[in-house]
């Protein structure tokens, strides 16, 4: 909406256009009766929240009277749009003055600093927070031979005693180079200390001629602001110690460590020199010169493809930044890319990747049937994980971080599903075991292991792949054109992994797949080394990547332990057919390995993976607000979701193992002495119902052929090598009596 000269607006007539900003256009108008000059600020884009902000500006400022604050004199309406009538200042902005003059001398810097601090302190006493203090919002006019600053545009103000309303929406409003770090996190929760920070940035620029927080991109400026990364003011030249203390105290990133109020800041700044003789430089543009006007925000948003607007955007960084901030702040419809295509593509890739991982791990697609009913839900969870990664990468690319739980929930559910498969298989096997013929136990157990431990190991493998995919996607999304390389994580991974791998090769020759864990940890460390560290969004990427690396290494280490258990069980089943004694030993080794919930090597690899993930978090320059809370939530989900599944699986599988090892030993003995059919009872073996006469069910086995029974393997080996009669003496206890019975070695 344009107002041409001569247009009558309520009691005012438009003289000329003064300028345009992101949310309003400003005209110079004249009161029809009094002839006084005023500035008319007209909102040029709709929206109830924006309108409420403008109305609130007029109401709050209307009751504030201070020579350093631009007064609001009236509130009018133009074609349904509210407009503020403001005190007219015939001058320039502080930003324009600094752009021309650069660093001010101490006398003039002190004069302007104190006048600006006094004005903002008065506004705070009145109950106002500005939240967008910057040199462009300070107007300068000549008064009594010097320059008088006036703080303008309290349109982003918030009453100190209200906790709701149009500005309590959480939208980060302000200018990045001057915004307090807490405004980036939660604009609704800021207080007067946010203005203290902005004033510190302005004071820094007054006395140095440079901005405190500079960068080649908006993200870099935001990162430097959040992390308090600025050149100390003393490095720009000698200054009064009080000024240095005031600026450094105002620019603290943590509001609790910052100077608490503008009045305190003014007191620390100190002395009050007389007003210097000062006039506006003749060639500084004033508000009377509407040259070089920027297009209105409505034109920038709605006509971005028009040739003249596109040309202006190509040459004007300020308009590009303002347009981007406006889109982010008000979520203009039609500009937010849809997320579902990424989610759908991610789901498809997740399912295909899951299929490929399972096929590679099992030895071909035809082996999927070995997983029984568990392979479809495994693939479904892989697809869900892929979809979540697709949506998460979109958010990360846009600089919006999703919580760690959102990133890592699918791998956690895969672990739960694998444990459920193992536990349910163990329950079925434990129920069938007592009813099976003793000699059939090894074959039944070997077949059952294909569904139980294989389902668990497959889930661990898929979870590891999904976590590595998460890490790779974060690196690919955040790296962009960065050439950063952090040797810390990859150094920890390669060095620590080499030590563990070599130690296992020497000390634990029974470990079969540690190379898989080593490769996983090194791959994770290599990817982490590529993560950039240039802004707040990168800090979130490093948090996601670090936790993904730690969880991937832990998942791979646990998966290797499961593969070792599976190998021991398969070895026992294979040996039972040809070497019963070896089968009994392997079964006993399996039982001992299972009872040791996490062996020391597994714990060592888990610890190394955690160190690799921790390295990228500790070495990052950016501090991510809420990282501890996010990590706590992830830990809580893992404890609540994975913990009960792991405890249940461990209990039911341990019950199976407790019955399995004695049953295996009994099968090995029965293979040598067919009539000696035994079953487990307590820590020993007793005669089963199928035992040959004169054995009675329940007879406790004590010795065979004079060899006391402690472990099945030595006994079976002795019987296999025995060269003697076809009968063998068996010693048992029955009703607290010791009996010796002879049994034939020949099978009936």
Q: Which residues are catalytic?
A: 132
DSSP 587-652: HHHHHHHHHSSS-HHHHHHHHHHHHHHHHHHHS-S---TTHHHHHHHHHHHIIIIIHHHHHHHHHH
452, 425 Cβ separation under 8 angstroms: yes
Give the H/E segment covering residue 494: helix 487-507
- H/E stretch holding 741 reads strand 737-744
Contact between 684 and 637 under an 8 Å Cβ cutoff? The reply is: no
513 in helix, strand or coil? coil
CB burial readout 407-423, b (16+ within 10 A) else e: bbbbbbbbbbbbbbbbb
Angle, CA 272 vertex, CA 271 and CA 273 arms, to 5°: 115
Q: Is 284 exposed, middle or buried (0-12, 13-18, 19+ CB in 10 A)?
A: middle
Q: Distance between CA 147 and CA 276 in Å, rounded?
A: 8
Q: Which residues of 161-172 are buried (b: 16+ CB within 10 A; e: fewer)?
A: eeeeebbeeebb
DSSP reduced 3-state for 670: helix
- Using the structure block, give the residue that is written with the tokens 């992994």: 497
Residue 146 is given by DSSP the state E
Residue 520: how many other CB atoms lie within 10 Å: 27
Give the C-alpha distances (Å, rounded to integers) separating 655 from 423, 513, 741: 10, 27, 33
Q: Which residues contact 230 (CB under 8 A, 6 or more apart)?
A: 204, 212, 213, 224, 251
Give yes or no for a contact between 601 and 593, defined as CB atoms under 8 angstroms apart. Answer: no
How big is the chain by its Cα radius of gyration, in Å?
38
Distance CA 285, CA 291 (A): 9
The alpha-helical segments, DSSP class H, found in 230-306 are 241-250, 262-269, 297-302
Ordered alpha helix ranges (H), 619-748: 627-637, 643-672, 712-721
CA-CA-CA-CA torsion sign (366, 370, 373, 374): negative
Query: What is the C-alpha to C-alpha distance for residues 196 and 116, in angstroms, rounded to an integer?
Result: 12
Q: What angle separates helix 192-208 from helix 106-125, to the nearest 10 degrees?
A: 170
For residue 694, cis peptide bond before it (omega within 30 degrees of 0): yes
Question: CA triplet 422, 424, 430: central angle to 5 degrees?
Answer: 100
**CA pair distance 458, 465, nearest whole angstrom:** 11
70 Cβ neighbours under 8 A, 6+ residues apart: 61, 86, 87, 89, 139, 150, 151, 152, 153
d(CA 46, CA 44): 7
d(CA 225, CA 535): 10
Q: What are phi and psi of 70, to 5 degrees?
A: -65, 125
With beta carbons less than 8 A apart as the criterion, state whether 653 and 427 touch. no
Q: CA 453, CA 482: separation in Å to the nearest integer?
A: 43
| Residues in Cβ contact with 640 at an 8 Å cutoff, skipping those fewer than 6 apart | none
């Amino acid at each position: 909406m344009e107002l041409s000269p001569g247009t009558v607006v309520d009691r005012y007539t438009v003289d000329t256009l003064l300028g345009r900003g992101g949310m309003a256009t400003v005209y110079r108008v004249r009161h029809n009766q009094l002839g006084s000059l005023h500035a008319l600020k007209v909102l040029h884009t709709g929206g109830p929240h924006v309108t409420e902000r403008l109305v609130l500006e007029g109401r709050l400022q209307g009751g504030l009277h201070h020579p350093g604050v631009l007064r609001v004199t009236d509130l009018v309406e133009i074609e349904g749009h509210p407009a503020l009538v403001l005190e007219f200042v015939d001058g320039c902005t502080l930003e324009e003055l600094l752009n021309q003059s650069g660093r001010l001398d101490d006398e003039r810097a002190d004069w302007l600093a104190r006048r600006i601090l006094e004005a903002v302190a008065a506004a705070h006493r009145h109950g106002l927070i500005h939240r967008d203090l910057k040199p462009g919002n300070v107007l300068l006019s000549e008064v009594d031979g010097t320059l008088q600053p006036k703080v303008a545009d309290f349109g982003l103000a918030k009453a100190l005693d209200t906790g709701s309303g149009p500005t309590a929406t959480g939208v980060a409003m302000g200018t990045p180079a001057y915004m307090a770090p807490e405004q980036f996190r939660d604009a609704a929760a800021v207080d007067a200390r946010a203005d203290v920070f902005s004033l510190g940035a302005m004071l820094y620029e007054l006395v140095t001629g440079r901005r405190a927080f500079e960068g080649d991109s908006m993200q870099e400026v935001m990162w430097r602001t959040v992390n308090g990364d600025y050149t100390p003011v003393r490095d720009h030249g000698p200054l009064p110690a009080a000024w240095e203390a005031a600026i450094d105290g105002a620019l603290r990133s943590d509001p609790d460590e910052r100077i608490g109020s503008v009045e305190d800041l003014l007191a620390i700044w100190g002395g009050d020199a007389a007003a210097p003789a000062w006039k506006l430089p003749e060639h500084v543009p004033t508000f009377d010169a509407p040259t070089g006007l920027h297009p209105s925000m409505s034109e920038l948003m709605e006509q971005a493809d028009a040739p003249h607007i596109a040309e202006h955007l190509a040459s004007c960084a300020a308009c590009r930044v303002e347009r981007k901030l406006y889109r982010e702040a008000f979520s203009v419809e039609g500009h937010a890319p849809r997320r579902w295509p990424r989610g759908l593509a991610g789901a498809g890739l997740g399912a295909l990747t899951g299929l490929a991982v399972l096929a590679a791990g099992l030895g071909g697609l035809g082996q999927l049937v070995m997983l029984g009913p568990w392979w479809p839900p495994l693939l479904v969870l892989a697809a869900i994980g892929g979809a979540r990664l697709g949506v998460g990468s979109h958010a990360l690319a846009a600089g919006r971080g999703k919580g760690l739980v959102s990133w890592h929930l699918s791998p956690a559910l895969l672990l739960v599903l694998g444990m459920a498969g193992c536990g349910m298989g163990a329950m079925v096997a434990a129920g069938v075991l007592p009813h099976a013929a003793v000699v059939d136990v090894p074959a039944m157990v070997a077949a059952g292991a294909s569904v139980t431990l294989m389902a668990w190991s497959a889930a661990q493998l898929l979870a590891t792949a999904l976590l590595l995919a998460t890490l790779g996607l974060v690196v690919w999304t955040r790296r962009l054109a960065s050439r950063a390389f952090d040797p810390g994580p990859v150094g920890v991974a390669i060095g620590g992994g080499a030590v563990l791998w070599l130690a296992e090769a020497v000390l634990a020759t029974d470990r079969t797949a540690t190379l898989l864990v080593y490769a996983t940890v090194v791959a994770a460390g290599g990817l982490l080394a590529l993560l950039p560290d240039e802004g707040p969004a990168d800090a979130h990427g490093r948090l996601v990547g670090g936790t993904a690396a730690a969880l991937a290494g832990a998942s791979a280490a646990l998966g290797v332990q499961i593969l070792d258990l599976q190998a021991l069980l398969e070895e026992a089943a294979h040996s039972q057919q040809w070497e019963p004694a070896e089968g009994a030993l392997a079964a006993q080794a399996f039982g001992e390995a299972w009872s040791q919930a996490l062996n020391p090597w597994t714990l060592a690899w888990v610890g190394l993976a955690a160190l690799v993930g921790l390295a990228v978090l500790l070495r990052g320059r950016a501090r991510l607000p809420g990282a501890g809370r996010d990590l706590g939530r992830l830990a809580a989900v893992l404890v609540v979701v994975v913990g009960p599944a792991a405890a249940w699986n461990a209990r039911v599988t341990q019950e199976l193992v407790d019955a399995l090892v004695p049953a295996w030993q009994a099968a090995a003995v029965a293979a040598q002495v067919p009539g000696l059919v035994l079953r487990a009872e307590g820590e020993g073996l007793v005669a089963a119902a199928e035992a040959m006469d004169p054995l009675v069910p329940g007879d406790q086995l004590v010795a065979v052929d004079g060899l006391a029974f402690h472990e099945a393997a030595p006994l079976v080996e002795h019987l296999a090598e025995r060269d003697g009669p076809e009968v063998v003496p068996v010693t048992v206890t029955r009703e607290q009596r010791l009996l010796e019975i002879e049994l034939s070695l020949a099978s009936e």
